[in-house]
Amino acid sequence: MRVANRLAMALLTIGLASKLTAQQTAVVINLTEQTAYLLENGRVALISPIASGKEGRETPTGNFRVINKDLNHRSGNFGLVTDSYGRIVNSNATPGSSVPPGCHYIPAPMPYFMEFRKYVGMHAGYLPGYPASHGCVRMPRDLAADFFTRVQIGTPVKVIGSSRNVTRVRRAIPIVQLGESPSATVFSGSQPSRGAKHLARVRKAIPVVDPGRSKYAIAFPAGRNF
């Protein structure tokens, strides 16, 4: 409950506490906490750790709406180059990168893609424990699937905080999780930013909060354009 309480206080201070209408869903992404919150019917329904944009590629802040959903999305801008044996030659490639003979370029998979700004969205991916993406918001695969099921085109998304002031570093959360194929590809391709290297506090992922047990009614004000 301490997590939900902190979220309630944070949203109250930025003027987001009003009663949600029935069936209304919204997402709050806190870059400082590296955490995403799904709000349903005035309550915190899901909480997910994230990996947001790294230094120089920060996730944009502001008020947005989900503009596209794609279950099996692949990046049009980033990927990797592998050889004929599947070994990674370049883990941070683009479509314009040099591809040696016998190798090929693979666009980065971005399953459960929920786009809220052009080319920027939430999706399943590798969480190294610090901001590491090219601007998107990575989530553990199971939580990305849950968010994907519950958000719709038009769902409000509010991005707050700053990845330059990250308060916590988590243990790495791979895209391959229990019950999934051990041969699934992990796209990391990033190194810690200067700020992340100096962060020492490590903790596990925040658990999901059962909306039926949360007493906090968190809301987006009626009529506000998010």
Per-residue pLDDT of the chain (226 residues; tens, 9 = 90+): 555 545 544 554 344 544 444 458 999 999 999 999 999 987 999 999 999 999 999 999 999 999 999 998 887 777 778 888 888 888 778 888 889 999 988 887 789 999 999 999 999 998 999 998 989 999 999 999 999 999 999 999 999 999 888 876 777 886 654 444 333 334 444 444 444 443 333 333 333 333 333 333 333 433 333 3
Give the chain's radius of gyration (CA, Å). 18
Please state, in angstroms and rounded to a whole number, the distance separating the CA atoms of residues 161 and 165. 8
pLDDT of residue 6: 59
DSSP type of residue 97: S
pLDDT of residue 12: 40
pLDDT of residue 31: 96
pLDDT of residue 11: 54
pLDDT of residue 10: 52
Contact between 167 and 136 (Cβ < 8 Å) = no
- The structure tokens 């990927």 sit at 79
On the CB side of 103, CA atoms within 13 Å amount to 17
pTM: 0.67
Per-residue H/E/C for 172-216: CECCCCCCCCCCCCCCCCCCCCHHHHCCCCEECCCCCCCCCCCCC
Contact between 199 and 169 (Cβ < 8 Å) = yes
User: DSSP labels for 100-159?
Assistant: -TT-EEEEEEEEEEEEEETTEEEEE--B-SS--BSSSEEE-HHHHHHHHHH--TT-EEEE
pLDDT of residue 202: 33
pLDDT of residue 53: 94
Please state, in angstroms and rounded to a whole number, the distance separating the CA atoms of residues 209 and 199. 27
